[in-house]
Amino acid sequence: MYRNRKSRQKRRQRAVDEQVGQINKGLDGMMLSTVLEDNVAIMQNLFADVDVFQVRRLESRDGGLRFALMYCDGMINNEFVELSIVSPLLSASVPEGDATDYLATQALKVTEIKKTGDIREIVEGVSYGSTLLFVDGSAQALLMDTKGFETRAVAEPESERTLTGPREGFNENLLTNLTLLRRKVRSNELKMKMRVFGRRTRTQACICYMDGLVNKSILAELQRRLDAVDIDGVLDTHYLEELIQDSRTSLFRTIGSTERPDVVVGKLLEGRIAILVDGSPVALTVPYLFVENFQSGEDYYYSHYYASFARMLRIVGFFLTVIVPGLYISVVAFHHEMLPTQLLTNMATERNSVPLPAALEAVVMLLVFDLLRETGARMPGNVGQALSIVGALVIGQAAVEAKMVAAPMIIMVALTATTSLLVPKLNAPIIYVRFFLLFLASMFGFYGLALGASAVLIHVLNLRSFGVQVLTLTGDLSKHEVRDTWIRDPWWLMKLRPRIAADRARMQDNANMQNAGGGQ
């Protein structure tokens, strides 16, 4: 029985492998010819039914050589191709020998030229705005970088607006994004390793890190996991995130993401690693500690007093949004002694005429809020007013007046809803944990609440991000470990990098602190 299943599995795996192999079969083992027309035919065959694929035949003025230029229409900078490729070719007089070498080194005015006979590389290049040049008599082609397609401007990211500090955000072009990083770090220490993901999309991705700071074992672990990625398309970094994170089933994220280059560089300087993918404005950063959920890039541009306050506020907000519904139900249904008498009579008055039990009412109201929120996120901007009127008036006021919902419940939902927007990075866990605690609280009161909260805490304590514990409860509150967590100390106090960095001394004149810090 068992063997049967195993062999069936094996067979299925083989079928998948075969299928996947067929996708790229056409390109493997194909050779270019020395005859120009043959090469043109090969390319036209590969790009059959691709009407944007253009072939342009040229002949040098002295009639010595024939060329074929190939590109995808709209992907290249026409003017540039005209000036730097077409006109030099027309006037080229090629000496004896390999024409491609001569053209690449002496005639063509293009910065990036690659001589290749690899059809796969050629196809990828042409698809991505390169211009391909075949010369009659050569079995090698020249692939020239002539990208000229439109990209979105570098603008402030919508999801991470700040009041102060750098306003740049990534766009969908990998190279632009890399320049945004490179501009901030004028050093060869910033390493950028390119790789390709996606069997079909062949998407470029880049792994960035600071050579002296990164923890080598984390880097090796990341490489190992990326090597194992096998997917046909990568349209956004989150495709990768789900494939490489430590706990695939956990609600809590163990990989960070941001659209801001200043945040990425900040993380790199703390010894973290960033992954950027072409076509996505979101960069991933690893390892990702739990406390990063409550940090914002902006914290470092404000006064540390304000930033520390804001961080504590976010942490409090997280606890409130997760625990308030459960707390409310516990108090209303189990522990009436906890309420001051005045409040109890007020709440009893409110609850007196309401049909649903409190727990069910809470679930319904929270779901209604989630519905409103999701609708708000998905709807076109110009119908927003209608939604807010329906949400505020109908569901809020009218429901209370019609005695369908108790007023304290509306207050509770409002508090839960507002605080949940404080920590957008935790939006998924918040929803589930909130309902989990609400359920337990409606069964067992405070006891259930305490039990559920402990379970969540234990789960988070067990999470790892690339081998690093995301949350530690060692009781070690020594100063250097809390410098940049729930508070943000001023820079002159943050002499050490966080524990994940290989080189912990942040400030030169305090280099000896490294040993002190390591000893703790």
Partner 1 sequence: MRKRAALAALIIICAALTGGCWNYRSMNDMTITTGVAVDRDPETGLYHLSFEYVDLSGPVKEQGIAAGLLETYGVTMFDAARNAKKRVTNKVYLGHIELVVLDEEVARESDIVTTMDFFLRDAECRETVCVAVSQMETAKELLRLEGVGQPMVAYEIHNIIEEDRRVTASTIYNPVYKIYNIIYSEGIELTLPAVRSVPNDGSITCEVNGIAVFKNGRLVGYLSPEESKYFLFVMGEVEGGVITCSASGEGPEDTALEIHRSNTKRSFRWRDGQLSVQVEVEVVVYLDETAALIDLMEPSVIQQVEASGAQKLVRGIADMIQRVRTEYRSDIFGFGNMICKQDHKLWEQLKDNWDEVFVNMPVEITCKVDIVNTAYLKKT
CB–CB of 387/372 below 8 Å?
yes
Minimum Å distance from CB 332 to partner 1? 6
CB of 257 to partner 1, least distance (A): 33
Q: How far apart are CA 363 and CA 73, in angstroms?
A: 55
Looking at beta carbons only, is 354 or 502 nearer to partner 1?
354
How many other C-beta atoms lie within 10 A of the C-beta of residue 96?
6
Q: Contact at 8 Å (CB) between 301 and 316?
A: no
Cis amide bond preceding 325, omega within 30? no
In this complex, which beta carbon is closest to partner 1, that of residue 10 or of residue 335? 335
Give whole-number Cα distances, 441 to 361, 412, 436, 452, in Å.
Answer: 14, 15, 9, 8
Which residue(s) pair with 132 in the sheet? 70, 143
Catalog residues that contact partner 1 under the rule CB under 8 A.
332-338, 341, 344-345, 347-349, 351-352, 354, 357-358, 442-447, 449-450, 475, 477
CB of 268 to partner 1, least distance (A): 33
Between residues 111 and 352, which has the closer beta carbon with respect to partner 1?
352
CA atoms lying within 13 Å on the CB side of residue 196: 10
On whether the CB atoms of residues 369 and 413 are closer than 8 A, the answer is: yes
Cβ–Cβ < 8 Å for 133, 65: no
Q: Which is nearer to partner 1, 340 or 519 (CB)?
A: 340
What is the DSSP code (8-state) at residue 86?
Answer: I
Question: How far apart, in whole angstroms, are the C-alpha atoms of residue 360 and residue 325?
Answer: 11
Q: Which is nearer to partner 1, 256 or 448 (CB)?
A: 448
Q: What's the rounded Cα separation, in Å, for the pair 505 and 494?
A: 9
Nearer Cβ to partner 1, position 342 or 385?
A: 342
Tell me: cis bond preceding 287? Omega within 30 of 0 counts.
Answer: yes
Work out how close the CB of 345 gets to partner 1 at its nearest, in angstroms, rounded to a whole number. 5
For the bound state, the minimum distance from the C-beta of residue 145 to partner 1, rounded and expressed in Å, comes to 59
Smallest distance, Å, CB 276 to partner 1? 41
DSSP strands (E only) in 403-500 = 464-465, 468-469
Least distance between partner 1 and beta carbon 517 (Å): 19
By the 8 A CB rule, do 31 and 38 touch?
A: no
| CB nearer to partner 1: pick between 110 and 406 | 406
Q: Which is nearer to partner 1, 80 or 446 (CB)?
A: 446
Provide the minimum distance between the beta carbon of 498 and partner 1 in the complex, in angstroms, as a whole number: 21
